[in-house]
């Protein structure tokens, strides 16, 4: 089904992202799997190509493009390569910058945004803690005022880009008596005494992404690193989660679509009982269903992209896109593995890795149960 949300400028951006994948990422796919991260020089190259500064105003080194469709085409192309690269770049370039652009002081913007746009400062956002991620308002990391600074103590886990991060947006409790209204965002920088990036966690998928624990032991964070007003951290996160969730949905659909296309080709090439395996009615009908599921999901996500580009996407609709697309993605990829037979279980086949990678999309960016909780509440329950 033809898509109608992108014009020729978006397609030009897609072409340059596709070229970047072919020239810079694809030849180093194995290196990234083994290193469990994206090498620094690739971050710098992506910055040079302009993939990181879309949401960053020109005066701070970005492109100042106020059109989410550009972010979406880049995310689609990265996801077609693999879901991990899309998530690492997405956190750095789509999720983190709006916090600083919207909430930062002039001095903070000058200090951090140019490095984020160029890829020199890798950024992460740390909400989840070992004691829980869904109940964000219950987070335990504390920051206590001490003159012109905050003393930060606690830890975070499962943080994308956490191992390499130079700059982390940390949600900390600054007032224990105020629940959600007692949470403040602090910018923690690499090298601050008492701040430690933990090991790269051993995951069942998304091998190329660095996902780490972060430890804070009496870290002295100057008040000038506070992002936004005291006590507004929770609300700031809630306001920006729709962008993270629509980004997740874009990636989920593009990732599954790419592997499905490859699977359809495989079903044409692979023979059993003297005919292509795709010619068996069961498989033909199955692929007909999978293509339909992807296109229907894509149509809804496209509407969300277009709405978000106009600043009109609601948190509830973003939640619908996030949970539904992740279910479709997992369903489609599971069938793609089956269609590959034994090869589908071999890591050297992209389909096997994609299937493993997809599992987390039902868990992160707010679990699918939390998405349904948000949607259910909107129904008046
Ligand atoms: C690879 C990876 C990367 C990640 N990257 C980041 C990152 O960059 N930054 C960050 O802050 N976090 C990140 N996360 C954390 C992720 O967002 C959390 O794992 C997620 O929010 C769930 O939190 P939890 O793991 O603590 O599970 P819990 O909150 O302990 O939930 C456990 C189970 O209980 C269910 N549950 C909880 N509450 C309810 C409820 N009210 N109703 C029904 N069911 C409920 C959940 O849906 C889940 O199934 C990442 C996670 C992974 C695995």
With 90 as the cut, is the pLDDT of residue 370 above it? yes
Statement: residue 1 has pLDDT above 90: no
Mean pLDDT of the chain: 97
User: Is pLDDT above 90 for 336?
Assistant: yes
Question: Which two structure tokens, joined as six digits, stand for 285?
Answer: 């009908």
* Closest among 373, 348, 380 to 33, alpha carbons compared: 348
Contact of 345 with 190, CB cutoff 8 Å: no
For residues 197 and 187, what is the distance between their CA atoms, to the nearest angstrom?
14
* Paired tokens of 220: 């002295």
Tokens (6 digits) for 333: 């990829």
In the residue annotation, 295 being an active-site residue is answered as no
Predicted local confidence at residue 368, as pLDDT:
98
Decide: 158 in ligand 1 pocket, CB within 6 A: yes
- Give the residue-averaged pLDDT of 261-285: 98
Burial (CB count within 10 angstroms: exposed 0-12, middle 13-18, buried 19+), residue 181? middle
Using DSSP bridges, classify how beta strands 167-173 and 183-189 pair: parallel, antiparallel or unpaired. Answer: antiparallel
Average pLDDT over residues 209-213: 97
Please compute the mean of the pLDDT values over residues 172-193 and round it to a whole number. Answer: 97
Q: Is the CB of 360 under 6 A from ligand 1?
A: yes
Q: Kindly tell me if the per-residue pLDDT of 81 is higher than 90.
A: yes
Residue 308's closest CA among 216, 13, 300? 300
Residue 319 has what pLDDT?
98
Per the residue annotation, which of 76, 77, 129, 244 is the catalytic one?
244
Task: Count other C-beta atoms under 10 Å from residue 223's C-beta.
Answer: 13
Report pLDDT for 25. 98
380 pLDDT above the threshold of 90: yes
């Amino acid at each position: 089904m033809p898509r109608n949300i992108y014009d020729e400028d978006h397609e030009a951006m897609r072409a340059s992202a596709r070229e970047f994948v072919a020239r810079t990422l694809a030849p180093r796919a194995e290196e990234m799997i083994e290193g469990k991260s994206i090498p620094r020089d690739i971050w710098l190259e992506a910055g040079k190509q302009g993939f990181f500064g879309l949401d960053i105003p020109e005066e701070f080194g970005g492109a100042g493009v106020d059109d989410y469709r550009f972010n979406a085409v880049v995310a689609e192309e990265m996801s077609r390569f693999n879901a991990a690269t899309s998530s690492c770049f997405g956190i750095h370039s789509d999720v983190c910058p709006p916090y600083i652009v919207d909430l930062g002081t002039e001095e903070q913007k000058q200090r951090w945004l140019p490095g984020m746009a160029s890829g020199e400062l890798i950024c992460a956002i740390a909400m989840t803690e070992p004691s829980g991620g869904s109940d964000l308002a219950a987070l335990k990391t504390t920051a206590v005022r001490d003159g012109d600074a905050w003393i930060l103590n606690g830890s975070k886990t499962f943080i994308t880009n956490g191992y390499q991060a130079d700059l982390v947006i940390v949600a900390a409790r600054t007032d224990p008596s105020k629940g959600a209204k007692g949470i403040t965002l602090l910018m923690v920088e690499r090298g601050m005494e008492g701040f430690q990036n933990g090991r790269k966690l051993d995951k069942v998928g998304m091998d190329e992404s660095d996902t780490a624990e972060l430890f804070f032991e009496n870290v002295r964070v100057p008040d000038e690193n506070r992002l936004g007003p005291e006590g507004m951290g929770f609300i700031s996160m809630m306001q920006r989660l729709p962008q993270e969730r629509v980004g997740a949905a874009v990636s989920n659909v593009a990732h599954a679509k790419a592997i499905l296309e490859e699977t359809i080709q495989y079903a044409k090439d692979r023979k059993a009982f003297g005919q292509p395996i795709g010619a068996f009615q069961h498989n033909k009908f199955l692929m007909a269903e999978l293509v339909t599921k992807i296109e229907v999901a894509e149509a809804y996500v496209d509407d969300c992209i277009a709405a978000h580009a106009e600043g009109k996407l609601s948190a509830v609709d973003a939640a619908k896109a996030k949970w539904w697309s992740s279910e479709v993605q997992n369903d489609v990829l599971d069938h793609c593995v089956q269609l590959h037979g034994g090869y589908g279980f071999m890591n050297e086949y992209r389909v096997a890795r994609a299937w493993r990678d997809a599992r987390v999309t039902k868990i992160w960016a707010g679990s699918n149960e939390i998405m349904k909780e948000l949607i259910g509440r909107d129904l008046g329950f």
